[in-house]
Structure 1
Amino acid sequence: MKRFLLDTILCSLFIFGVMGAFASLTFLKVFDAFDPIGEMFSDFELTDIVFSQLQDDPIADERIVIVNIGEIPREGIARQIEIINKYNPKVIGLDVMLDAPKEWAEDSALTRVLSETPNIIIGEKLINYNEERGEFETTIKPEDHIVQESALGYVNMITGARTQEDLKMCREFTPYEKVDGEIRYSFPVRLAYAYDSSMTEKFLARGNDVEVVNYKGNIISFSSAQYGMKYFALDVYDVFDENFTEDLFEDKIVIMCFLGKYIGDTETTEDYYFTPMNENYVGKAKNDMFGGVVHANITSQILDDDHIDQMSENAQIALAIFFCLFNVFLFKIIYGAMPRWYDGITKIFQLIEVAGLATIMIYLLLVFNYKADFTLSMIVIALSGDSLEVYHGVVKNLFSKERRKEVFKINRRFWEAKS
């Protein structure tokens, strides 16, 4: 039994060694020929199916109204804020970069309106991340004479994209970051705090550096997202023409952001992201959510105390080790007791395990808001059956003098027969 258990452990180590070898080859671009397939699945997670297919239809969040600023100049934005202010919003979030100075007429109008609007959050962008220090070095923020006493919130998204044209998949966000030793809060955290400080403090008390975005809906069904309205949105001239009811903005969170040249414009790539709600959850064809709407989803999540907990990396590794040892132990018994049935039985068992883990992942997220990641375990399960045969048929024989002699004898007979 001791020898059997030792063999089980050694075989498990061999499987993890195989996984490490494949990971190294992938890192070294040995499999570049398969890149198109890899790229197709690189933006896919199994749990995306929950957001894109299995959620109930969203209930409109009446606390938040989104306003499209389109491509209007700053004096136009100032006019929008003036109109919105007449209807007593709780807080206004301005998701637009105001770092570059404009002509006096534009800047002066916006500066005046912002100085008269105490309940406004303005976007800034964190840049130059220092990995050694784990913080950003500086920010791109509005000119001081424009922002004055307004609060700032960073609008950075976690996407992995390096350029505007790269695939921008947004699944997570950071509630706060450090900039040169100072803590800065994200745009949606600022909005939520201005609306309900106690609920926001409860969220921050979770203490997570990174949170999963619990997406519930979009603004309208023009995108490739399956779900329709979650947030009421006004287009540029709906505001100018005051084409809305008087109570629309009262005591609400108003997010002013870019939603295309007009609502329904899907040709732009500016501030336009892929999310798990995209119904084309493998090989996504087009973006489905603007940045301002992502901020709205995060703000709702904070106010609703509706967060997603994630499985830790240590738990993922521990589960993978468990499944590896369990499968190798079981498969070795089958290998010794029923060698002719080995391939069929182990393949069926592997399929059941992988399907079961996939189902559990979806169920945990859908019902308990828990994002489990069994990817490593699934890889271990997929490799365990064939790797056990390689281990017994090749690796163990390499450490046996008698078995190595058999290889050389067969090789010598082959060449003698050829000659």
Structure 2
Amino acid sequence: MADLFDQTPATPDQGAAATPRPLADRLRPRALTDVIGQDHILGPEGPLGVMLASGSLGSIIFWGPPGVGKTTIARLLADETDLAFVQISAIFTGVPDLRKVFEAAKLRRSQGRGTLLFVDEIHRFNKAQQDGFLPHMEDGTILLVGATTENPSFELNRALLSRAQVMVLERLDLAQLELMAQRAERELDRALPLTGPAREALLEMADGDGRALLNLIEQVAAWRVDTPLDPASLGARLQRRAAQYDKSGDQHYNLISALHKSVRGSDPDAALYWFTRMLEGGEDPRYLARRVTRMAVEDIGMADPQAQAVCLQSWETYERLGSPEGELALAQAVIYLALAPKSNAGYAAYKNARSAARKTGSEPPPKHILNAPTALMAEQGYGDGYEYDHDAADGFSGQNYFPDGMARGVYYQPVERGFERELKRRLDYFVKLRAQRS
């Protein structure tokens, strides 16, 4: 699987002249210095740069989206360190195949040469298969370079992670994709038949994936047109690449986190962007309705009690209308939450009260607030001394309602925003009366 590319064309294999090689294969880098992007790991101060300079290359897990150079960099590392390069995919490799790979690596080692084993989609191996790499990594039979698009923290064993360094590869930005397009044009010996805006649209279609860009460029370069195409004409001829989104994986949690924090940060535009990104990726609108309602409870709370009602109404509207019309109601709830006053005082109070309840869970209520439906209970002092709040002139008795002997807890501390400003005024009033009457 090719990832990143080089401007120097490779010599075709003998007998293969009749079968043109894909552009991505023709532009494959010949050296690490030809790789586009990933300077943060390949530069002199980057982890790979430091490893190579010191002559001490260790096992690595490359984590990043498709088309950013994982396979290419692994192959070039083998060239740089004079190791035999062996590539397998966890999708197609079983235990018998692994045994053969390890036996071949042992034989190679006995002959004085090491093996860089590149494992694509390494997260697809189960725990037992991942554990099978460990002894061969420890005795130096193989230097493991794994590649994954999934979060290694969730998908790989701790034992494997402890023996390898995780390096994060980043999606390519527009400037890097433009550099790749220029290399492709030099290889093809002609410019792409696109206007400036259409060229930018082409780069955006690749969505940070270098391999996808070269595949698109190969299609565009084959067209015969009289005048450069504008964005509309390009869009009519090419299908936009689907955005990277996994409803059960890392992207799912990253995007819902971005949505939640944008709402909390009172940015309706960013919140709508992440909300629609998830919808475009195929997210279930009901999941979003539930999470948006949670945001109202957690981050707005009593600062705007109406926020929960808005979320529930939008959820009900979605259930009645369905997609895509009902999604507009959810979008309007997102806007409302982003612009609502924020307070997590209720959420914090709930957590603090739960913590206190766990510590004092056996303490009985004070007897004066217990009912005494029997004579025996009355003899035991149940209800004795209880003051009926409605009998007080201001409707407040100021009695203690915590367990006897337990220090009074202070859990709810409203903020000076939205409706909670009024609640804080009321709370301060009751605190003052309680102090006077105690």
TM-score (norm 1): 0.23
Greater helix proportion? 2
Structure with larger RCO (C-alpha < 8 A, sep 6+) = 1
Which structure has the greater CA radius of gyration? 2
Greater strand proportion? 1
